[in-house]
Amino acid sequence: MAKESQKRNVKVYMFVFDTTASAYYRIIQPFKFFKSRVKNGFEFHLTATLHPQYFADGDIFIFQRFADRGFFDLLMFLRNQGKKVIFDMDYYPEPPPYHPSFGFFSSLRPFLQLVLSGADYILAPTQKLALELKSYNEKISVIPNYLYPGFWKNGKREEKKRDLGLSQEAVVLGWIGHPANYHSLKQVKSVLEELSSKFENLYFAFFGEDPQFIALPPERKIIREFKAYPSYLEYLDFIDVGIAPLEECLFNQCKSPSLALEYGMKKIPVVASPITPYEDLKGEGAPIFLAKEREEWVKALSKLIEDEAYRKERGEALYDFVNKNYLLERGAQKFLQVFEEVLGRSAGE
């Protein structure tokens, strides 16, 4: 196949079956970037259909996240046909027992392990996750969740807040997360309650559901349900300060720091928990705040809430960091290098 693929474009089929953030970061956004800018002897296709013609036509196939017996059989079929399979895995497959999706992940785990072992290559968004998955497959590459600028448009924050009926003095503190992440949010429950008493102009935006276990004035809560990934980005336009609490466990240590990067693209300063994803990001030079103890959270957030100039300066600094280090154009070559290696070729061959 390597000799044949040099005579024509290598056909890369990228499969996506949902509209989660993971699908956009790991499949859809890279596809859009490659489709619009990168040729280099590759031809890219995005599909949600397991059509036999694609498997006959393609050279490299990229799948993501989930696996069952049928998918494992498909992987083996493709391998037997001399095709190349890349499996993108963006989470550690063993969440803590109290995680709401523990049973679901447990049912997938045997097939995930088979797929991870049987794929030609694994992609992971963090070094920590890659290290944990390396026991399944030595062929693994770290490609972070880069941001595709085409999805990001900065709205005017003051106009968005005015549309919500908020005064210009109002400060909006935001949290983004699925109810499955409430264990992490509960870490700052008392912090948010104290801040609500301390600052009468402080509002709280939650994306997903209303976390009713936090005692906050109802009139100062803003609740937005999750929709497809691109839709929720515009919600960030009215947030002034972002929080990213994360409980310490291996499942969370393997996560990507994407939430902090998303805040950064909207010029929102961030206070996060000091565990691997955010510690690593700060170690790279990201101007984010890390807080572990309750007093540290209160101090960092109070400063950002009280001082508008400081808040904007920190948001701008994070925006600059993300644009310098985490736009997709910086990661495109990493994908291409993996494709070349999967084909058994040297870069540029």
80, with CB counted inside 10 A (0-12, 13-18, 19+), is exposed
* pTM recorded for the entire structure: 0.92
DSSP state of 9: P
The predicted structure's pLDDT at residue 2: 46
* Confidence class for position 321, pLDDT limits 50, 70, 90: very high
DSSP state of 28: I
User: What does each C-alpha distance from 97 to 102, 131, 249 come to in angstroms?
Assistant: 6, 22, 11
Question: Measured between alpha carbons, how far is 145 from 129 in angstroms, rounded to an integer?
Answer: 13
Average pLDDT value for the chain: 91
Which residue do the tokens 């929102």 mark?
A: 268
* Confidence class for position 234, pLDDT limits 50, 70, 90: confident
CATH topology of domain 149-325: Rossmann fold (3.40.50)
Q: Which residues contact 4 (CB under 8 A, 6 or more apart)?
A: none
Q: How many residues belong to the chain?
A: 349
**Domain ranges for the chain:** 2-146+327-342, 149-325
* Confidence class for position 38, pLDDT limits 50, 70, 90: low
Q: Which CATH superfamily is domain 2-146+327-342 in?
A: Glycogen Phosphorylase B; (3.40.50.2000)
* Confidence class for position 1, pLDDT limits 50, 70, 90: very low
